[in-house]
Amino acid sequence: MKHLAALLAGALALSSALVAPLARGAASAGAASGDDAGRELVRLFPSRASIDASGARGAALWRLELTAEVLAACRSDLSDLRLLDAASQPVPFVVDPGPPARAAATGLDRRRARVLAAQRREVPPSGAAAARFEETFELEAPPPPNGDAEWQLVIEADAPEFVRQLVIEGVRRGERSPAEAPVEQRARGAEASSRVEGSLFRIRGLADEQLASALPALPYDRLVVRLASEELFPLRPRFFFEVARPLPEARVIVVPLVAEGPVAAGSERRFTLARPAGILPSALRIETSVIAFERRVEVFDVARGRRPRSIGAATVFRMPFVRLTEGLEIELGAASGQALEVRFDDGDNPALSGLTFNAVVRAPSLVFAPPAGQEQSVTLYLGGGRARAPRYDLDRLLAERAERGAGEGGSDQRGTVVRLGPIGDNPQYVRTPPLAFATRAGAPVDARLYSHQRALQVAPASDGLARVVLGSADLGLLRADLGDIRVVDAAGRQWPYLIDREPASESVPLELGAAERRGGASRLPLLLPSSPVAPSSVVLDASEAYFDRDYRLSGETPEGRTVVLAHGRLQRDASAPREPLVIALTPTRVTSLALEVGDADDSPIGWTSASARIDVPRLYVLAEPGAYRLLLGNALDAEPSYDVARARELILSVSFQETALGPLGDNPEYRSSARLTAGDGPSRIVLWLVLGVAVVALGVVTLRLVRQDGSNDQGPGS
């Protein structure tokens, strides 16, 4: 009973769920001594790495910079990571995320640049060169800076997006500016004038923007700033001189991501990138072998149980100006799913070749005080996903450092960096499945009550979770709430499952019925292979290259009502590529479909094919390896209730194994008469008998009253 109690408690808290099964005998994990608790803690982590602190002896604080390998092996919140000393006792630490990835320079002195002259002009196209728009500004030179600091030119503009080629030239006293000088003098003046070339850009969603530039190093009295672009609109910039010092440089890790795809969807190409749980990218960097391009890119966070969520979008580009200008990083929001989906809108452009994807990760560090005496070794234990996040009272370490300033205190304030050794296996790790607390059989099921079945073979899986996808034919047998599904073993015991809130999609061909024409409209029945189902869209194709007509798509519900699912206009342009027509629907359970088209005086459209997209449920089954049956079709069944529903987030965070279902068939054990004796069947039978007897008795009484009234009507006076 104590063991069962520990298992049940595990559904409420991740740590107790996975630590308690490791306790030996009848002793409770909470009652263990400190030494025993430490030894039990070691068993939760599959990997470990030693820490080399040979260069940190005597330091009050140590800092361990985490690597990409560590982050990839851990959960995103680093909950499954511990520092333990030689006695397997925890060493408290605080996670320091470091400065933001986009930390910019902090200005020490900033002043507005005085503009002496300005010019705008449009350069017409010439040969292979496109038309260009140029803005030229002459600025008064800034005063000499103090000390060794150097001025930089900072440009501000209100335009939300722009790309400009930048040229800054210093002009000495008595010289004509390069814009004023004749062509032959410009060549000679270029030797006397110092010159800086670069680019400025701001792109929505890019992880970086370039709005500052160094100034020419030679002495000068004026600056000539020229901005050029193929974008034919003025930038209207504002100029500032700034002397700045940088903040502590953010430590980032670049992690290559494995891509699957692409999958084409019209002009869009989609790639799926597997994201290790501990890799939380602040940006996605795209590399390609193409020299000049510009593409709109959107990144989605893909997680089980919900629809993909957009976490970043930008226009990535590479332009071969005088100096190569590019913006290849997309700034991302928080990711929580198992994968990233990258969507490129290629338009009419050829696909980008040689694509690779890298996650730019803001790398955290662990800051901690070494064990007393410092002669003890400290080991990092990591991975497994079986421990909750520790609660150490060390946040004051980071708060105090922030109050004093990042630049104060030197290495003692930030901590002396220690090195992480190679990561290896932990020999004390106990390989208990993380979902062992929830993988157990439930109450028995009367298989005679279910009309159909599918075979389910659960293969050995380390995490005890299998995912199966139902088909549209199954939906025709199930209730709308999907409450009449059971997973049972050979002994008739049911095993728990969860229904994915994000269904899969299945394309089902529709049979074209005989079209009927009435007045100026035609009606085409679309026959479903099974019903009832709830289509999310209907896809139609026709032989005609052009049409533009009203339509109405209706369906009949299981209750016999006719409902309009969609209406509008069916349009096909002869000049556009011939593609099937997609009619989006609000999913409604129907037994039949019919398409009505207003033809007016035209002949009916020659439809060639039709199909429906149907959302089909996915089940996450918690079962031990073995043979099972999926039972379906029991309209009188109550919706199941499993304890695992209260640990949904924990269960769906564990990796699963895709498992195929056997073909749908009749359940040989099904007996329609079994419903009369199952559950409250006997009570219903008694109720109906009582009601029947009452109806008969009422009929007899009524008949007697009618006869009595008839005899009274035939009395002496009649």
DSSP-assigned letters across all residues of 603-660? PPP-EEEEEEEEEE-EEEEE--SEEEEEEE--TTPPPP--GGGGGHHHHHTS--EE-P
Exposure string of 429-451, with b = 16+ CB inside 10 Å and e = fewer, is: beebbbbbbbbbebeebbbbbbb
Give mean pLDDT, residues 268-294. 90
Q: How many Å apart are CA 408 and CA 413, to the nearest integer?
A: 7
The Cα–Cα gap between 322 and 613 comes to 51
The type of residue at 310 is S
Q: Which pLDDT band, with edges at 50, 70 and 90, does 1 fall under?
A: very low
235 vs 643: CA distance, rounded Å? 62
Least confident piece of the model among 149-153, 162-166, 639-643, 714-718: 714-718
More confident residue, 666 or 324: 666
Going through 321-451 in order, the beta strands assigned E by DSSP cover 324-327, 329-331, 339-345, 356-362, 365-368, 379-382, 416-425
Q: What integer pLDDT is reported at residue 29 of this predicted model?
A: 35
pLDDT digits (tens, 9 = 90+) for 512-548: 999 999 888 999 999 999 989 999 999 999 999 999 9
Least confident of 66-70, 93-97, 561-565: 93-97
pLDDT at 175: 62
Among 454, 495, 443, 494, residue whose Cα is nearest residue 630: 454
Backbone angles phi, psi at 233, to 5 degrees: -145, 150
pLDDT at 403: 44
CA-CA-CA-CA torsion for 355, 304, 533, 663, nearest 10 degrees? 90
Instruction: Write out pLDDT tens, residues 363-404.
Output: 889 988 888 765 568 999 998 877 777 778 766 555 554 444
**Burial group, residue 103, by CB count within 10 angstroms (0-12, 13-18, 19+):** middle
Higher pLDDT, 354 or 56: 354
Host H or E run for residue 70:
helix 68-73
Report pLDDT for 180. Answer: 52
Banded pLDDT at 148 (limits 50, 70, 90): low
- pLDDT of 599 > 90? The answer is yes
Query: CA 170, CA 82: separation in Å to the nearest integer?
Result: 57
Is residue 710 pLDDT above 70, yes or no? no
Q: Cβ(254)–Cβ(122) under 8 Å?
A: no
62: left (phi over 0), alpha (psi -120 to 50) or beta: beta
Which stretch of 23-32, 151-160, 351-360 has the lowest confidence by average pLDDT? Answer: 23-32
Higher pLDDT, 126 or 14: 126
344: closest CA among 275, 288, 305, 291?
288
In terms of DSSP bridges, do strands 465-469 and 657-658 run parallel, antiparallel, or are they unpaired? parallel
One-letter amino acid identity for 682? P
pLDDT band at 3 (very low <50, low <70, confident <90, very high): very low
Residue 389 CB coordination number (10 Å): 14
**How many separate helices (H) and strands (E) can be counted in the chain?**
11, 44
Residue 493 to residues 79, 255, 354, 479, 623, Cα–Cα distance (Å): 36, 46, 53, 22, 11
pLDDT for residue 376: 65
pLDDT at 92 over 60: yes
pLDDT one-digit tens code per residue, 453-490 = 999 999 886 667 899 999 999 999 999 899 999 999 99
The conformation of residue 444, written as its DSSP 8-state character, comes to B
Six token digits for residue 569: 């206009």
Structure tokens at 453: 């079945």
Q: Say which DSSP state 425 is in.
A: E
DSSP string over 539-553: EEEES-S-EEEEEEE
Which band of pLDDT confidence, cut at 50, 70 and 90, is reported for residue 711? low
pLDDT, mean over the chain? 81
Helix (H, G, I), strand (E, B) or coil at 710: helix
Torsion angle defined by CA atoms of residues 704, 705, 711 and 715, in that order, rounded to the nearest 10 degrees = 150
Rounded-to-integer distance, Cα 353 and Cα 338, Å? 26
pLDDT digits (tens, 9 = 90+) for 9-52: 333 333 333 333 333 333 333 334 445 555 667 888 899 999 98
CB 664 within 8 A of CB 474: yes
Asked if 241 and 142 count as a contact pair (C-beta separation under 8 A), the reply is yes
List the single range of 71-75, 122-126, 200-204, 412-416 with lowest mean pLDDT. 412-416
DSSP-derived 3-state class of residue 254? strand
Q: Which two tokens mark 181?
A: 């000088």
pLDDT band, very low/low/confident/very high, at 699 (cuts 50, 70, 90): confident
**Do 12 and 439 meet the contact criterion of CB atoms below 8 Å apart?**
no
Q: Is residue 121 over pLDDT 80?
A: yes
